[in-house]
């Protein structure tokens, strides 16, 4: 059966839950929106005929088959909507051949497609020789407490894939290091400076209350005064690809760069005077994205998203950070993922991709981090393609209906090949 229309409808419904990190509530460790989205997804899986489990609002799963376990790891939480939207970020609008909203591509759309791919296999009488666990977490974007809880109360399979990155197949992911640097700043030329909403999302809005109002300088830097407040607008992007966004923090800092403490931040984090960004390997160069800034109590704190090459040790990054001479703390760290390109899991998924698209391809590496690294033996597989418009963690996120159709086919074939 063709489940395209049902999948499109279900993706739109799932988008309508604001499942970004919110205040903890009973039964909702990551906020009401995430908990309701998880309940909705599991109820859909039950209606489609699958056994489900809800692990205390942290994560859930839909099961199919018996035998050795195999994981498909997705997430239902999203980054905050941010600014610059032309559509309702939680409207789930289907228009112009696209499903619009936060999470459409990352990662609600792929999660729904994987579920309906399992349903299509079930309907055709396919009996997997493995127990497929479609696991959906609610804290992927902000710490992975969902995965930690799942591992504590359930059993995580050793092998699987995560439909939360790029095609044709991801064999390597950079290490992820989020740090909070505390720059001393006792005599600053402003009463307040703040910006950014998420550690892995390029800062798209930053504001300050300057001691001196300089309209000419503000205009030259592309800033605007809104009453007493000086505002900088940028463009959000995924923290792993800061070059695809426009960091609103930098123009605002440049307004105050005559101040030595502010200039130090610009030099260290944007001008890279210590050469932190020189590290590189086949997975690409180290990237650093200053994503959250907050002044107060004699300091300016900046949370940075660092993605370091898969063959590099985190110790090398810390060595460079210590050379800054600026106090800092590690907020979050994930080791890199690296699977050999000729590994059977990689090659099977590559074959499926080529079969479904007719395109010859090679495994690739990314700076993003996926649930695949929660597995002993895992890789990421879709949903993005090389020529796609960058929409993840950006305003006006969408997934096309045509991509949904292709994902249903690709994930059905991938699940069949890996569990037969």
At residue 324, the 3 state secondary structure works out as: coil
Residue 54 DSSP SS3: strand
Given a contact cutoff of 8 angstroms between Cβ atoms, the answer to whether 118 and 132 are in contact is: yes
Catalytic residue flag (residue 140): yes
DSSP secondary structure string, 132-161? EEEEEES-GGGT-HHHHHHHHHS---SEEE
* 95 three-state secondary structure: strand
Q: What distance in Å separates the CA atoms of residue 117 and residue 240, rounded to the nearest whole number? A: 29
Q: Which of 190, 2, 34, 202 lies closest to 107 in space, CA to CA?
A: 34
- Coil, helix or strand at residue 176: strand
Q: Which residue has the tokens 């800061």?
A: 242
Name residue 100's beta-bridge partners.
Answer: 398
Contacts of 125 (CB under 8 A, 6+ apart): none
82, 253, 405 from 201: Cα distances, Å: 9, 18, 29
Other C-beta atoms closer than 10 Å to the C-beta of 5 total 10
Give the Cα separation of 267 and 264 in Å (integer).
5
Task: Give the rounded distance of the alpha carbon of 16 from its chain centre.
Answer: 18
Cβ–Cβ under 8 Å, residues 74 and 27: no
DSSP annotation of 269 reads I
- Give the DSSP letter of residue 267: I
User: Catalytic residue among 61, 77, 141, 291, which?
Assistant: 77
Find out whether 90 and 101 touch, Cβ atoms under 8 Å.
yes
- Are 42 and 62 in contact by the 8 Å Cβ rule? The answer is yes
Place of tokens 């607008």: 233
Catalytic residue among 18, 106, 107, 140: 140
Q: Could you list the active site residues?
A: 77, 140
């Amino acid at each position: 059966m063709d489940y395209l229309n049902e999948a499109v409808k279900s993706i739109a419904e799932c988008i309508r839950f604001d499942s970004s990190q919110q205040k903890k509530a009973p039964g909702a460790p990551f906020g009401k929106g995430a908990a309701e989205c998880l309940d909705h997804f599991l109820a859909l899986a039950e209606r489609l005929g699958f056994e489900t489990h809800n692990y205390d609002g942290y994560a859930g799963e839909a099961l199919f088959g018996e035998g050795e376990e195999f994981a498909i790891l997705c997430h239902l939480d999203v980054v905050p909507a941010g600014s610059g939207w032309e559509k309702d970020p939680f409207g789930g609008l289907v228009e112009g051949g696209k499903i619009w909203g936060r999470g459409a591509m990352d990662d609600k759309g792929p999660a729904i497609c994987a579920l309906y791919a399992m349903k299509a296999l079930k309907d055709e009488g396919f009996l997997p020789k493995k127990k497929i666990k479609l696991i959906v977490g609610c804290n992927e974007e902000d710490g992975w407490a969902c995965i930690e809880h799942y591992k504590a109360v359930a059993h995580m399979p050793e092998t699987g894939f995560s439909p939360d990155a790029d095609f044709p197949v991801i064999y390597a992911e950079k290490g992820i290091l989020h740090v909070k640097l505390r720059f001393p700043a006792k005599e600053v030329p402003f009463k307040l400076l703040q910006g950014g909403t998420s550690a892995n999302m390029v800062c798209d809005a930053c504001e300050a209350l300057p001691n001196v109002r300089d309209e000419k300088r503000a205009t030259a830097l592309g800033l605007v005064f809104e009453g007493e407040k000086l505002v900088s607008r940028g463009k959000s992007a995924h923290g792993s690809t800061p070059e695809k966004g426009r960091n609103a923090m930098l123009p605002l800092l440049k307004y105050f760069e005559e101040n030595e403490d502010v200039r130090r931040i610009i030099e260290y984090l944007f001008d890279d005077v210590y050469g932190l960004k020189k590290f590189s390997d086949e997975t690409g160069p180290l990237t650093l994205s200053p994503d959250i800034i907050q002044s107060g109590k004699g300091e300016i704190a900046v949370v940075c998203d660092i993605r370091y090459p898969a063959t590099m040790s985190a110790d090398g990054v810390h060595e460079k950070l210590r050379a800054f001479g600026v106090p800092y703390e590690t907020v979050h760290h994930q080791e890199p993922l690296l699977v050999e390109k000729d590994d059977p899991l990689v090659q099977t998924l590559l074959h499926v991709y080529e079969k479904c698209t007719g395109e010859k391809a090679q495994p690739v590496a990314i700076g993003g981090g996926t649930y695949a690294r929660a597995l002993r033996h895992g890789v990421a597989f879709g949903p993005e393609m090389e020529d796609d418009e960058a929409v993840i963690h950006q305003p006006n996120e969408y997934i096309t209906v045509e991509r949904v159709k292709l994902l249903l086919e690709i994930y059905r074939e991938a699940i069949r090949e890996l569990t037969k």
